[in-house]
A and B are shown apart, each in its own frame.
Chain A
């Protein structure tokens, strides 16, 4: 034995963080797990679950107490989303989007008046938030958006539509990116807080999705909506940069969601591999299955480390864009792979709804697409690498 006095790297969570993980886990096991199949089948939005999440403070994680939130950081947000995703990735997606995109965007860039009016009810879970960047004609190429905002006295008039918006239907408050100066392209984009009490702002088509089915995904229509100029977030032209910064944080949360999903699928596979007997012994005693499980677990642990490191950097106020993209890219891809392997281990039973793994598999695919596709993550990482390693 020897003693090492080490300063600087610690893999331990604090006692409060462990308590938060335990709370999120117990809540997910008791209040979400019994209803997972129902909500997946019906695509109904789980209002009752979100009401309870709001009561616990899970809808205002990143918001300081003086604005009605819990005053926690990216690590705690990742812990909560991971634990919920382990049971139901679709509920976790709502928690991630509500906290990290809409609520935090308004808090970070909004005036004190906007914080009071919008952030407080969002953080307390009285209402849900949506975030509108994507449009029917612009996904990864967000700069090509068509929605415009025309100044009219002390208002802006917003015209256009947004697509694939989480909480498009159930959310009553949204952050909407729109072009105030179309000639300037990306630099002409601004961000606004828009709420459903404003005439002309409504949800249209609710999507019928392959996975994440109880997560509310809809289109938003902006039919000449008059938005007070005071609802502009920050300055005109800052919208695109704001959106990128918000997405950096969002990607850490999606990485955590991916880790939780993979963990849930892995645990189901571990259980089945010990119970199922083939050729006279449990599946796990067949080397092909054992080795698959060993790799699945290793990849989850690697994804978890990338995720919490990115969250840790964010909480320290250090740059974390590259790390967030790396965590999101790796974690989402291993989530898809882990869920697929979990089905393979289950064989035919993995393909039917009596077992939980087919749902993890359907839910997983969104993670390599939403909040920046895997391809976009690679571009972000490569650009960041070029900055660091540029030859003179």
Chain B
């Protein structure tokens, strides 16, 4: 079974991100980039499924050259090979089209992704890749069981669980808690250094969505402090009626 684990390179959760003055782009400053936290679960799930069913795990990222760093992490965790599709500035559809093209090229039985990338949070990948490949996709999965080509997936829903069945080939995005990602071992980090990272030509697709503008969220209105004169009390009542609209 060939398992494709798709991972992305995102600004650290602690990074302070700003918007350019004209709203056309982001200011990332010296933000540190990391492996998208949800994708760690995707890599781990790929490794676990390989341990149970055999096969190989290919780690894939679509992004800049610097993203090779997270492919090294995937290799150190145990992925058999790593591939980069060097393309930046794509919309979600463009990324999905590239993932789908590569998944098809290697005849992947299972495509695993994190439930979302914590940069743009578009939640598009699993369903778009599934649609492009013409195979089922299940999103935000918290438990995955495979027996021959039958798959049983659990999703957490409000107050309970939803159990779905499907067959391979399949696209699955995984939720935190599905597993406990392993630490890469020291000797594996060093071995990963010398493993090749294959570069695959991007597929050209026209964007389906264009970014119009970035905007910083409005800050919460500051609290108002009133005095205790009769006028203040009248103002207080007016504010409750007209601004807070609670009475």
Q: Is the interface of A mostly helix, strand, loop or mixed?
A: helix
- Taking a contact as CB atoms under 8 Å apart, the answer to whether A56 and B185 are in contact is yes
Chain A, residues 349-379, CB within 8 Å of chain B (1/0): the string is: 0000000000000000000000000000000
B106 interfacial contact with A, CB 8 Å: no
Chain B nearest CB: distance from A270 CB in Å?
A: 15
Q: How far is the CA of A61 from the CA of B184 in the complex (A)?
A: 14
- Taking a contact as CB atoms under 8 Å apart, the answer to whether A56 and B186 are in contact is yes
Q: How far is the CA of A23 from the CA of B187 in the complex (A)?
A: 12
Among A64-72, A135-143, A279-287, the stretch in contact with B = A64-72
Choose among A15, A26, A58 the residue that contacts B186 (Cβ–Cβ < 8 A). Answer: A58
Q: Is the interface of B mostly helix, strand, loop or mixed?
A: helix
B31 interfacial contact with A, CB 8 Å: no
Chain A nearest CB: distance from B50 CB in Å?
A: 19
What residues of A have a CB within 8 angstroms of the CB of B69 in the complex? 15, 19
Q: How far is the CA of A57 from the CA of B185 in the complex (A)?
A: 6
- Taking a contact as CB atoms under 8 Å apart, the answer to whether A56 and B76 are in contact is no
Chain A nearest CB: distance from B161 CB in Å?
A: 27
Choose among A55, A71, A72 the residue that contacts B185 (Cβ–Cβ < 8 A). Answer: A55
- Taking a contact as CB atoms under 8 Å apart, the answer to whether B190 and A70 are in contact is yes
What residues of B have a CB within 8 angstroms of the CB of A70 in the complex? 186-187, 190
- Taking a contact as CB atoms under 8 Å apart, the answer to whether A20 and B183 are in contact is no
B72 interfacial contact with A, CB 8 Å: yes
Contact residues, A8-45 vs B (CB, 8 A) = 15-16, 19-20, 23, 26-27
What residues of B have a CB within 8 angstroms of the CB of A16 in the complex? 189-190, 193
What residues of B have a CB within 8 angstroms of the CB of A69 in the complex? 187
What residues of B have a CB within 8 angstroms of the CB of A71 in the complex? 187, 190
What residues of A have a CB within 8 angstroms of the CB of B190 in the complex? 16, 70-72
- Taking a contact as CB atoms under 8 Å apart, the answer to whether B187 and A65 are in contact is yes
Q: A15-B69, A16-B193, A19-B76 are in contact. Are A61 and B187 (CB under 8 A)?
A: no
B8 interfacial contact with A, CB 8 Å: no
B116 interfacial contact with A, CB 8 Å: no
Chain B, residues 59-75, CB within 8 Å of chain A (1/0): the string is: 00000000001001100
Contact residues, A47-97 vs B (CB, 8 A) = 55-58, 61, 65, 69-72
- Taking a contact as CB atoms under 8 Å apart, the answer to whether B183 and A26 are in contact is yes
Contact count band on B: 10 to 19
Q: Which residue of B lies closest to A31 (CB)?
A: B183
Chain B nearest CB: distance from A27 CB in Å?
A: 6
What residues of B have a CB within 8 angstroms of the CB of A26 in the complex? 183
Which of A15, A27, A57, A69 neighbours the largest number of chain B CB atoms within 10 Å of its CB? A57
Q: How far is the CA of A319 from the CA of B151 in the complex (A)?
A: 61
Chain A nearest CB: distance from B227 CB in Å?
A: 21
What residues of A have a CB within 8 angstroms of the CB of B189 in the complex? 16, 19-20, 23
Chain B, residues 1-17, CB within 8 Å of chain A (1/0): the string is: 00000000000000000
Q: How far is the CA of A57 from the CA of B186 in the complex (A)?
A: 5
Chain B nearest CB: distance from A147 CB in Å?
A: 35
Q: How far is the CA of A16 from the CA of B189 in the complex (A)?
A: 7
- Taking a contact as CB atoms under 8 Å apart, the answer to whether B72 and A72 are in contact is no
Q: Which residue of B lies closest to A68 (CB)?
A: B187
Which of B72, B184, B185, B187 neighbours the largest number of chain A CB atoms within 10 Å of its CB? B187
Choose among B73, B183, B193 the residue that contacts A56 (Cβ–Cβ < 8 A). Answer: B183
Q: How far is the CA of A56 from the CA of B188 in the complex (A)?
A: 9
Chain A, residues 121-153, CB within 8 Å of chain B (1/0): the string is: 000000000000000000000000000000000
What residues of B have a CB within 8 angstroms of the CB of A58 in the complex? 186
Q: Which residue of A lies closest to B184 (CB)?
A: A23
Q: Which residue of A lies closest to B191 (CB)?
A: A65
Chain B, residues 35-77, CB within 8 Å of chain A (1/0): the string is: 0000000000000000000000000000000000100110010
Chain A nearest CB: distance from B68 CB in Å?
A: 9
Q: Which residue of B lies closest to A52 (CB)?
A: B183
Chain B nearest CB: distance from A83 CB in Å?
A: 13
Chain B, residues 177-197, CB within 8 Å of chain A (1/0): the string is: 000000111110110010000
What residues of B have a CB within 8 angstroms of the CB of A55 in the complex? 185
- Taking a contact as CB atoms under 8 Å apart, the answer to whether B185 and A19 are in contact is no
6 cross-chain CB contacts under 8 A: A16-B193, A23-B189, A27-B183, A57-B185, A57-B186, A72-B190
Contacts A15-B72, A55-B185, A56-B183 supplied; 20 other A-B pairs, CB < 8 Å: A19-B72, A19-B73, A19-B76, A20-B186, A20-B189, A23-B183, A23-B184, A23-B186, A26-B183, A56-B186, A57-B185, A57-B186, A57-B187, A58-B186, A61-B186, A65-B187, A70-B186, A71-B190, A72-B186, A72-B190
Chain A residues proximal to chain B, CB less than 8 Å:
15-16, 19-20, 23, 26-27, 55-58, 61, 65, 69-72
